[in-house]
Amino acid sequence: MVSYVVYPGTFDPVTNGHLDLIERGRRVFGQVIVGVAAAHQKQALFSLEERFALLQQATASMPEVEVERFDGLLVDYLRRKEASVVIRGLRAVSDFEFELQMALTNRQLSSSIETIFLMPSQEYVFLSSRIVKAVASLGGDVSAWVPPVVFEALKKKYPAVAGKRAGAK
């Protein structure tokens, strides 16, 4: 029986959609380890340390969630954690293609790894970190899409976002 699951990603930045999947993982598996990956293939807005800190703050009220940093192959991280189950979010068919390739690659590298796909709540189906950054960079209000701590961090990166709706979830 699996007692915890790993939810890996770059989380640049963490969104309410990510938090929704963390909550779903908690309900199904009991405990979730969120693995914040170094962004070698991406141009990250937030450093690894910033992304780690933002996720820790955003999940502080969830005692069953542990946030860790990792670098390198996911399968190596899973071996170190003695974990065998990964959760990934699927929003659209385009996500499925990429996530299927990643799941099959991970299984090829380690036959003991299983990937469980979770669909987000309907309100977050459109949401991605890329969309959040694009809208924020143009001065749009993203406060309903990210936790308050992330909204404040985005305001520092994109001053045009400052002054938008305060107190949103």
How far is Cα 59 from Cα 134, in angstroms, rounded to an integer? Answer: 24
User: 69, 79, 81, 91: which is the annotated catalytic residue?
Assistant: 91
CA quadruple 95, 100, 102, 106: dihedral, nearest 10: 150
Residue 50: alpha-carbon gap to chain centroid? 13
Indicate if 165 belongs to the active site: no
Q: Is 81 a catalytic residue?
A: no
Q: Which of 18, 24, 51, 133 is catalytic?
A: 18
Tokens matching residue 12: 């640049």
Q: Residue 42 catalytic?
A: yes
Query: In angstroms, what is the C-alpha Rg of the chain?
Result: 16
CA dist 21 and 27 (Å) reads 10
Residue 40 annotated in active site: no
Catalytic residue among 26, 51, 88, 129: 129
Q: Find all residues with CB under 8 Å of 20, minimum gap 6, and list them.
A: 120, 121, 124
Which residues lie across from 67 on neighbouring strands? 34
The residue among 64, 66, 36 whose CA lies nearest residue 52 is 36
- The residues that are catalytic are 18, 42, 91, 129
